[in-house]
Structure 1
Protein backbone atom coordinates (compact mmCIF):
# COMPACT_ATOMS: atom_id res chain seq x y z
CA UNK A 1 0.00 0.00 0.00
CA UNK A 2 1.04 3.56 -0.64
CA UNK A 3 -0.28 6.90 0.52
CA UNK A 4 -1.72 9.43 -1.93
CA UNK A 5 -3.43 12.81 -1.56
CA UNK A 6 -7.22 12.76 -1.46
CA UNK A 7 -7.27 14.81 -4.67
CA UNK A 8 -5.55 11.91 -6.46
CA UNK A 9 -8.45 9.48 -5.94
CA UNK A 10 -9.42 8.06 -9.31
CA UNK A 11 -12.78 7.15 -10.76
CA UNK A 12 -16.34 8.05 -9.99
CA UNK A 13 -16.41 9.02 -6.31
CA UNK A 14 -20.21 8.84 -6.20
CA UNK A 15 -20.08 5.27 -7.48
CA UNK A 16 -17.38 4.43 -4.93
CA UNK A 17 -19.89 4.77 -2.08
CA UNK A 18 -23.27 4.40 -3.80
CA UNK A 19 -22.61 1.40 -6.05
CA UNK A 20 -19.51 -0.29 -4.65
CA UNK A 21 -20.37 0.49 -1.02
CA UNK A 22 -17.78 0.89 1.70
CA UNK A 23 -17.17 -0.10 5.29
CA UNK A 24 -17.05 2.51 8.04
CA UNK A 25 -14.96 1.18 10.90
CA UNK A 26 -14.47 2.81 14.29
CA UNK A 27 -13.31 1.93 17.77
CA UNK A 28 -9.99 1.24 19.41
CA UNK A 29 -7.53 -1.60 19.98
CA UNK A 30 -9.86 -3.14 22.59
CA UNK A 31 -13.14 -3.02 20.68
CA UNK A 32 -14.12 -1.95 17.18
CA UNK A 33 -17.04 -2.40 14.82
CA UNK A 34 -17.73 -1.95 11.15
CA UNK A 35 -20.80 -1.35 9.02
CA UNK A 36 -21.60 -0.98 5.35
CA UNK A 37 -22.46 2.47 4.03
CA UNK A 38 -23.91 3.30 0.66
CA UNK A 39 -24.84 6.93 1.30
CA UNK A 40 -22.05 9.45 1.38
CA UNK A 41 -20.33 12.23 -0.48
CA UNK A 42 -16.90 13.69 -1.14
CA UNK A 43 -15.97 17.34 -1.33
CA UNK A 44 -14.28 20.23 0.39
CA UNK A 45 -15.20 21.81 3.72
CA UNK A 46 -13.22 24.44 5.61
CA UNK A 47 -10.63 24.20 2.78
CA UNK A 48 -9.99 20.52 3.53
CA UNK A 49 -10.83 17.34 1.57
CA UNK A 50 -13.79 15.66 3.25
CA UNK A 51 -16.16 12.75 3.17
CA UNK A 52 -19.68 12.94 4.59
CA UNK A 53 -21.28 9.73 5.82
CA UNK A 54 -24.77 9.09 7.17
CA UNK A 55 -25.61 6.65 9.96
CA UNK A 56 -28.99 5.77 11.44
CA UNK A 57 -29.27 6.06 15.23
CA UNK A 58 -29.90 2.35 15.83
CA UNK A 59 -26.65 1.23 14.16
CA UNK A 60 -24.18 -0.26 16.63
CA UNK A 61 -21.20 1.33 14.86
CA UNK A 62 -22.62 4.79 15.61
CA UNK A 63 -21.57 4.59 19.26
CA UNK A 64 -17.99 3.82 18.20
CA UNK A 65 -17.91 6.78 15.82
CA UNK A 66 -19.40 9.02 18.50
CA UNK A 67 -16.71 7.94 21.01
CA UNK A 68 -13.71 8.47 18.70
CA UNK A 69 -12.28 11.44 16.82
CA UNK A 70 -11.17 9.27 13.90
CA UNK A 71 -12.62 6.43 11.86
CA UNK A 72 -11.88 4.74 8.55
CA UNK A 73 -13.81 4.32 5.34
CA UNK A 74 -12.63 1.27 3.40
CA UNK A 75 -13.61 0.44 -0.16
CA UNK A 76 -13.22 -3.27 -0.87
CA UNK A 77 -12.68 -5.06 -4.17
CA UNK A 78 -15.78 -6.56 -5.79
CA UNK A 79 -14.96 -10.09 -4.57
CA UNK A 80 -15.91 -8.91 -1.06
CA UNK A 81 -19.52 -8.08 -2.00
CA UNK A 82 -20.82 -10.87 0.31
CA UNK A 83 -18.76 -9.44 3.18
CA UNK A 84 -20.23 -5.99 2.54
CA UNK A 85 -23.74 -7.45 2.54
CA UNK A 86 -23.02 -9.32 5.78
CA UNK A 87 -21.67 -6.16 7.45
CA UNK A 88 -24.76 -4.23 6.36
CA UNK A 89 -27.22 -6.81 7.69
CA UNK A 90 -25.44 -8.12 10.79
CA UNK A 91 -25.06 -6.09 13.95
CA UNK A 92 -21.87 -6.34 15.97
CA UNK A 93 -24.15 -6.47 19.03
CA UNK A 94 -25.42 -9.85 17.88
CA UNK A 95 -22.19 -11.69 16.97
CA UNK A 96 -18.97 -12.35 18.86
CA UNK A 97 -16.70 -11.32 15.97
CA UNK A 98 -18.32 -9.48 13.08
CA UNK A 99 -15.01 -9.21 11.21
CA UNK A 100 -14.44 -12.98 11.26
CA UNK A 101 -18.09 -13.59 10.34
CA UNK A 102 -17.60 -11.43 7.25
CA UNK A 103 -14.29 -13.09 6.39
CA UNK A 104 -12.41 -9.82 6.98
CA UNK A 105 -9.34 -8.90 8.98
CA UNK A 106 -9.35 -6.04 11.47
CA UNK A 107 -6.11 -4.08 11.27
CA UNK A 108 -4.96 -0.65 12.43
CA UNK A 109 -3.41 2.41 10.88
CA UNK A 110 -1.95 3.92 14.01
CA UNK A 111 -4.90 3.82 16.39
CA UNK A 112 -7.59 3.85 13.69
CA UNK A 113 -9.21 0.48 12.91
CA UNK A 114 -9.18 -0.45 9.22
CA UNK A 115 -10.04 -3.45 7.07
CA UNK A 116 -6.90 -5.21 5.83
CA UNK A 117 -8.56 -6.42 2.60
CA UNK A 118 -9.53 -2.89 1.50
CA UNK A 119 -8.52 -1.62 -1.90
CA UNK A 120 -8.83 2.01 -0.77
CA UNK A 121 -8.61 3.14 2.85
CA UNK A 122 -9.50 6.63 4.02
CA UNK A 123 -8.42 7.71 7.48
CA UNK A 124 -10.92 10.35 8.58
CA UNK A 125 -11.12 12.85 11.45
CA UNK A 126 -14.54 14.19 12.45
CA UNK A 127 -15.00 17.92 11.87
CA UNK A 128 -18.75 18.44 12.16
CA UNK A 129 -21.83 16.33 12.80
CA UNK A 130 -25.54 16.76 13.18
CA UNK A 131 -28.92 15.13 12.85
CA UNK A 132 -31.05 15.18 9.73
CA UNK A 133 -34.04 17.41 10.49
CA UNK A 134 -37.22 16.55 8.58
CA UNK A 135 -38.40 20.15 8.98
CA UNK A 136 -35.70 21.11 6.47
CA UNK A 137 -36.81 18.68 3.72
CA UNK A 138 -37.54 20.52 0.48
CA UNK A 139 -39.82 17.64 -0.56
CA UNK A 140 -41.87 16.37 2.41
CA UNK A 141 -42.79 13.22 0.46
CA UNK A 142 -39.20 12.03 0.84
CA UNK A 143 -39.73 11.61 4.59
CA UNK A 144 -42.39 8.94 4.09
CA UNK A 145 -40.23 7.08 1.56
CA UNK A 146 -36.87 7.24 3.34
CA UNK A 147 -37.89 7.52 7.00
CA UNK A 148 -41.11 5.59 7.62
CA UNK A 149 -39.77 4.74 11.11
CA UNK A 150 -38.63 8.32 11.81
CA UNK A 151 -35.05 7.04 12.34
CA UNK A 152 -33.31 10.06 10.86
CA UNK A 153 -29.65 9.70 9.98
CA UNK A 154 -26.86 11.52 11.75
CA UNK A 155 -24.35 13.00 9.34
CA UNK A 156 -20.63 13.17 9.96
CA UNK A 157 -18.38 15.46 7.93
CA UNK A 158 -14.81 14.26 8.30
CA UNK A 159 -11.49 15.44 6.96
CA UNK A 160 -9.76 12.83 4.84
CA UNK A 161 -6.39 12.83 6.61
CA UNK A 162 -4.82 9.92 4.79
CA UNK A 163 -5.59 7.84 1.69
CA UNK A 164 -4.01 4.41 1.29
CA UNK A 165 -4.19 2.56 -2.04
CA UNK A 166 -2.46 -0.46 -3.61
CA UNK A 167 1.03 0.19 -4.98
CA UNK A 168 -0.22 -0.28 -8.56
CA UNK A 169 -3.00 2.34 -8.13
Structure 2
Protein backbone atom coordinates (compact mmCIF):
# COMPACT_ATOMS: atom_id res chain seq x y z
CA UNK A 1 0.00 0.00 0.00
CA UNK A 2 1.57 3.24 -1.21
CA UNK A 3 2.48 5.85 1.38
CA UNK A 4 1.24 3.66 4.23
CA UNK A 5 3.03 1.88 7.06
CA UNK A 6 2.25 -1.73 7.86
CA UNK A 7 1.41 -2.22 11.53
CA UNK A 8 0.46 -5.10 13.78
CA UNK A 9 -3.30 -5.40 14.39
CA UNK A 10 -2.56 -4.89 18.12
CA UNK A 11 -1.40 -1.36 17.25
CA UNK A 12 -4.89 -0.27 16.13
CA UNK A 13 -5.64 2.24 18.85
CA UNK A 14 -8.59 4.13 17.39
CA UNK A 15 -11.94 4.01 19.17
CA UNK A 16 -13.58 1.35 16.97
CA UNK A 17 -17.11 2.27 18.05
CA UNK A 18 -16.56 5.79 16.75
CA UNK A 19 -14.46 4.58 13.80
CA UNK A 20 -17.17 2.24 12.48
CA UNK A 21 -20.38 3.71 13.87
CA UNK A 22 -19.71 7.40 13.26
CA UNK A 23 -16.91 7.71 10.72
CA UNK A 24 -18.01 4.67 8.65
CA UNK A 25 -15.87 2.37 6.54
CA UNK A 26 -15.78 0.94 3.05
CA UNK A 27 -16.16 -2.82 2.77
CA UNK A 28 -14.55 -3.88 -0.50
CA UNK A 29 -14.54 -7.37 -2.01
CA UNK A 30 -13.23 -8.70 -5.29
CA UNK A 31 -9.91 -8.33 -7.06
CA UNK A 32 -8.23 -5.39 -8.78
CA UNK A 33 -9.85 -6.30 -12.11
CA UNK A 34 -13.40 -6.71 -10.76
CA UNK A 35 -14.55 -5.48 -7.34
CA UNK A 36 -17.22 -3.51 -5.56
CA UNK A 37 -17.31 -1.44 -2.42
CA UNK A 38 -20.01 -0.28 -0.04
CA UNK A 39 -20.22 2.05 2.93
CA UNK A 40 -20.87 0.34 6.25
CA UNK A 41 -21.49 1.57 9.77
CA UNK A 42 -22.22 -1.79 11.39
CA UNK A 43 -19.51 -4.16 12.53
CA UNK A 44 -16.72 -4.45 15.00
CA UNK A 45 -13.20 -5.55 15.79
CA UNK A 46 -12.03 -8.02 18.39
CA UNK A 47 -10.23 -11.25 19.14
CA UNK A 48 -11.76 -14.66 18.39
CA UNK A 49 -10.36 -18.15 17.81
CA UNK A 50 -6.95 -16.83 18.88
CA UNK A 51 -6.94 -14.33 15.98
CA UNK A 52 -7.56 -10.61 15.51
CA UNK A 53 -10.92 -10.39 13.74
CA UNK A 54 -13.50 -8.04 12.34
CA UNK A 55 -17.14 -8.76 11.79
CA UNK A 56 -19.15 -7.10 9.06
CA UNK A 57 -22.71 -7.38 7.81
CA UNK A 58 -23.82 -7.32 4.17
CA UNK A 59 -27.38 -7.65 2.87
CA UNK A 60 -27.76 -10.12 -0.02
CA UNK A 61 -29.31 -7.48 -2.29
CA UNK A 62 -26.16 -5.34 -2.13
CA UNK A 63 -23.87 -5.70 -5.17
CA UNK A 64 -20.88 -6.13 -2.86
CA UNK A 65 -22.50 -9.31 -1.48
CA UNK A 66 -21.75 -11.37 -4.60
CA UNK A 67 -18.09 -10.30 -4.44
CA UNK A 68 -17.88 -11.21 -0.75
CA UNK A 69 -19.40 -14.60 -1.53
CA UNK A 70 -17.08 -15.32 -4.46
CA UNK A 71 -13.80 -14.26 -2.83
CA UNK A 72 -11.90 -15.39 0.23
CA UNK A 73 -10.88 -11.92 1.31
CA UNK A 74 -12.10 -8.35 1.69
CA UNK A 75 -10.80 -5.05 2.96
CA UNK A 76 -12.09 -2.50 5.43
CA UNK A 77 -10.95 1.03 4.60
CA UNK A 78 -11.34 3.94 7.00
CA UNK A 79 -11.14 7.61 6.04
CA UNK A 80 -10.89 11.06 7.56
CA UNK A 81 -13.93 13.30 7.77
CA UNK A 82 -12.86 15.08 4.57
CA UNK A 83 -13.99 11.95 2.68
CA UNK A 84 -17.55 11.96 4.07
CA UNK A 85 -19.05 12.89 0.69
CA UNK A 86 -17.12 10.09 -1.04
CA UNK A 87 -18.45 7.61 1.51
CA UNK A 88 -21.98 8.92 0.97
CA UNK A 89 -21.62 8.26 -2.76
CA UNK A 90 -20.34 4.73 -2.13
CA UNK A 91 -23.27 4.09 0.20
CA UNK A 92 -26.03 5.51 -1.96
CA UNK A 93 -25.16 4.28 -5.45
CA UNK A 94 -24.92 0.76 -6.80
CA UNK A 95 -21.82 -0.47 -8.55
CA UNK A 96 -24.19 -2.33 -10.87
CA UNK A 97 -25.28 0.99 -12.40
CA UNK A 98 -22.34 3.36 -12.08
CA UNK A 99 -18.62 3.55 -11.40
CA UNK A 100 -19.15 4.95 -7.94
CA UNK A 101 -15.46 4.69 -7.04
CA UNK A 102 -14.56 7.09 -9.85
CA UNK A 103 -17.56 9.28 -9.01
CA UNK A 104 -16.39 9.43 -5.39
CA UNK A 105 -12.87 10.36 -6.52
CA UNK A 106 -11.23 7.38 -4.82
CA UNK A 107 -8.11 5.57 -6.01
CA UNK A 108 -8.30 1.75 -5.88
CA UNK A 109 -5.03 0.08 -4.90
CA UNK A 110 -4.23 -3.63 -4.95
CA UNK A 111 -3.19 -5.22 -1.68
CA UNK A 112 -0.52 -7.91 -1.29
CA UNK A 113 -3.31 -10.46 -0.77
CA UNK A 114 -4.95 -9.64 -4.11
CA UNK A 115 -7.76 -7.53 -2.65
CA UNK A 116 -8.57 -3.85 -3.20
CA UNK A 117 -8.27 -0.90 -0.82
CA UNK A 118 -8.11 2.86 -1.43
CA UNK A 119 -5.17 5.22 -1.58
CA UNK A 120 -7.02 7.93 0.34
CA UNK A 121 -7.76 5.71 3.36
CA UNK A 122 -6.10 6.49 6.68
CA UNK A 123 -6.40 2.90 7.92
CA UNK A 124 -6.83 -0.32 5.91
CA UNK A 125 -7.53 -3.80 7.22
CA UNK A 126 -6.99 -6.65 4.78
CA UNK A 127 -9.03 -9.63 5.90
CA UNK A 128 -9.80 -13.25 5.02
CA UNK A 129 -13.11 -14.94 5.68
CA UNK A 130 -13.31 -17.35 8.60
CA UNK A 131 -17.05 -17.76 9.08
CA UNK A 132 -20.23 -16.52 7.42
CA UNK A 133 -23.88 -17.04 8.25
CA UNK A 134 -27.22 -15.43 7.46
CA UNK A 135 -28.87 -13.82 10.46
CA UNK A 136 -31.91 -15.82 11.55
CA UNK A 137 -35.12 -14.22 12.89
CA UNK A 138 -35.42 -16.78 15.68
CA UNK A 139 -31.94 -15.93 17.00
CA UNK A 140 -32.82 -12.35 18.00
CA UNK A 141 -33.00 -12.26 21.79
CA UNK A 142 -33.95 -8.63 22.40
CA UNK A 143 -37.53 -7.78 21.44
CA UNK A 144 -37.93 -5.07 18.84
CA UNK A 145 -34.56 -5.35 17.06
CA UNK A 146 -35.91 -7.54 14.27
CA UNK A 147 -38.95 -5.32 13.73
CA UNK A 148 -36.93 -2.09 13.89
CA UNK A 149 -34.06 -3.03 11.58
CA UNK A 150 -35.62 -5.73 9.38
CA UNK A 151 -39.30 -4.82 8.87
CA UNK A 152 -39.29 -6.45 5.42
CA UNK A 153 -37.25 -9.48 6.47
CA UNK A 154 -34.14 -8.52 4.48
CA UNK A 155 -31.61 -9.80 6.99
CA UNK A 156 -27.85 -9.37 6.66
CA UNK A 157 -25.24 -12.05 6.31
CA UNK A 158 -22.57 -11.79 9.00
CA UNK A 159 -18.94 -12.35 8.05
CA UNK A 160 -16.28 -13.00 10.68
CA UNK A 161 -12.96 -12.21 9.04
CA UNK A 162 -9.39 -12.54 10.23
CA UNK A 163 -7.36 -9.35 10.05
CA UNK A 164 -4.22 -10.44 8.18
CA UNK A 165 -2.65 -7.07 7.26
CA UNK A 166 -3.09 -3.55 8.58
CA UNK A 167 -1.78 -0.32 7.09
CA UNK A 168 -1.93 3.18 8.58
CA UNK A 169 -1.20 6.53 6.98
1:10 pairs, out of 4, 10, 13, with 13
The answer for the alignment partner of 2:22 in structure 1 is 19
Gap regions ≥5 residues in structure 2: none
Quick one: distance in 1 between partners of 2:166 and 2:17? Answer: 17
| Cα contact 1:33–1:98 (8 A) shared by 2 | no
Aligned to 2:38: 35
What is residue 101 of structure 1 aligned with on the other side?
103
Q: Deviations over 1:83-131 (max 9, x none)?
A: 1111111010111x22101111111112111111100000000000101
CA distance in 1, matches of 2:103, 2:39: 14
* Cα distance in 2, alignment partners of residues 29 and 37 from structure 1: 20
Whether contact under 8 Å (1:132, 1:154) holds in the other structure is yes
**SS of the residue 1:71 aligns to:** strand
Question: How does the TM-score come out when normalised to structure 2?
Answer: 0.95
Paired residue for 2:120?
117
RMSD (CA atoms): 0.8
Of 115, 134, 139, 2:142 maps to 139
Residue 60 (structure 2) pairs with residue 57 (structure 1): yes
Off by >6 Å, runs of 4+ in structure 1: none
Offset at 1:14?
A: 1.3
Aligned match of 2:76: 73
Aligned residues: 165
- TM-score normalised to structure 1 length: 0.95
Runs of at least 5 residues in structure 1 that lack an aligned partner in the other structure: none
